[in-house]
Structure 1
Amino acid sequence: MSDKHKANPELDGLAVLLLPGWLNSGPEHWQSRWEALHGHRRVEQADWEWPRRGDWMARLDDVLLQTPQRALLVAHSLGCQLVASWAAHSALHDRVAAALLVAPPDTERDDMPPNLFNWRPIVRRALPFPSLAVVSSDDPYCAPARAQRMAADWGSERVDIGARGHINGESGLGDWPEGLALLGRVAGRAG
């Protein structure tokens, strides 16, 4: 077992790929902390401000092709929509062991900024790998009923962590050990 996965032996032999959402994840975001603490790899996108769905999907394909081992996808916000869109079109499903989908946004809401309009409609096809959707009861970007529907459509187990906002840097999660436990849980289901 590698040193970096002592707390989560289920991750051994898997590459953990961090998929940030719109505008990337700042230094106080749990994804940035996981990258620094655990060596997980952030998938960098060419344009964080005006994200184009096709470009982001192509970038994920490129990263997966360059990653020798199977991957665990750890998505936040728009990164969750990336996973759903990518899975519906890519032929590289076998390179993904499982996905942790945190705070999926409702990109079909009327108040979404124009930067995100090309992420409509939301892809609602069942994911071809195990997944767990982590949602908050007071996420400003997605009503609980919409989050529940997306998780069901994707075939994801849904975990509601209570009133934690958008489950980001402003949510006060720090290194978010509970999230790491959830990652281990979904990794344990990988075939």
Structure 2
Amino acid sequence: MVGRNVAGGGAVALIVPGIGDSGPRHWQTLWMRHHPHWRRVRQRDWDHPLLEEWLRGLDAAMVEQPQPTVLIAHSMGCLLVAHWAQRSSLPVRAALLVAPPDPAEPAFPLTAQGFQTTPTVTLRFPSLVVASSDDPFGSIAYARRCAEQWGSTFVNVGAAGHINAESGHGDWPAGLVLLDGLLKSS
């Protein structure tokens, strides 16, 4: 397990969920149980994401965080982090971006407003895009393009679904290993 001061320099973590706020069996929620000092972004409506509103939610959470912060994002949270990074200058230690969804995919939520484009800006902080070869919300090629555009390291974890509770990942210890490696290299 990653400790209170995650590897290499005392950064603390902020969980950035996607649609549905990563339920009780999702690895983001399980990681927070082991690290009660980690914080989670709060959004008014987790089922109908509005980009501008979600950006304000992420910004408010970041302002409250000790700096620099490690962002741990899943699904729509990845797109949110990329959009937010275009606008904010708040310090970020690193970002773990897991299973970015492709707005062009038929499975992309129609309730998401403002997320129809993928930011192409190079992130100003170290980042790792983690993707699955059979994610119903985004192809491995799309995730690889995101990594290239964002200046992120890319990891293909094989056939792992959407890397969430529904795809059987539980507390996802392999994800903690990836996070630790990212932080040691940043």
If the length of structure 1 is used for normalisation, what is the TM-score? 0.90
Which has the larger displacement, 49-58 or 124-133? Answer: 49-58
Map 1:157-172; keep pairs closer than 5 Å. Answer: 157-172=153-168
Separation of aligned partners in 1, 2:140 and 2:83: 21
Instruction: Tell me which protein shows more helix as a share of its residues.
Output: 1
Separation of aligned partners in 2, 1:108 and 1:11: 37
Paired positions, count: 185
Equivalent in the alignment of 2:171: 175
Q: Deviations over 1:34-76 (max 9, x none)?
A: 0111222111111111111111111211111111231000000
Q: Which ranges of structure 2 fall in alignment gaps of 5 or more residues? A: none
Map 1:52-91; keep pairs closer than 5 Å. Answer: 52-91=50-89
Partner of 1:109, secondary structure, is coil
Separation of aligned partners in 2, 1:72 and 1:9: 9
Separation of aligned partners in 1, 2:59 and 2:107: 30
Partner of 2:58, secondary structure, is helix
Does structure 2 conserve the Cα–Cα contact (< 8 Å) formed by 1:107 and 1:117? no
Does structure 2 conserve the Cα–Cα contact (< 8 Å) formed by 1:14 and 1:71? yes
Q: Deviations over 1:110-137 (max 9, x none)?
A: 4423212420111111100000011000
Over 3 Å counting, the alpha-carbon distance change for 1:110 and 1:44 in structure 2 is same
Over 3 Å counting, the alpha-carbon distance change for 1:106 and 1:5 in structure 2 is same
How large is the Cα RMSD of the aligned pairs?
Answer: 1.8
Equivalent in the alignment of 2:20: 23
Separation of aligned partners in 1, 2:153 and 2:66: 27
Runs of 4+ residues over 6 Å off in structure 1: none
Partner of 1:13, secondary structure, is coil
Q: Is 1:129–2:133 an aligned residue pair?
A: no
Sequence identity, in percent? 46
Separation of aligned partners in 2, 1:173 and 1:184: 18
Q: Which ranges of structure 1 fall in alignment gaps of 5 or more residues? A: none
CA positional deviation for 1:89: 1.1
If the length of structure 2 is used for normalisation, what is the TM-score? 0.92
Q: Deviations over 1:55-104 (max 9, x none)?
A: 11112111111112310000000000011000011122xx2100000000
- Aligned-partner residue type, residue 189 of structure 1: S
Equivalent in the alignment of 1:32: 29
Which has the larger displacement, 167-176 or 11-20? Answer: 11-20
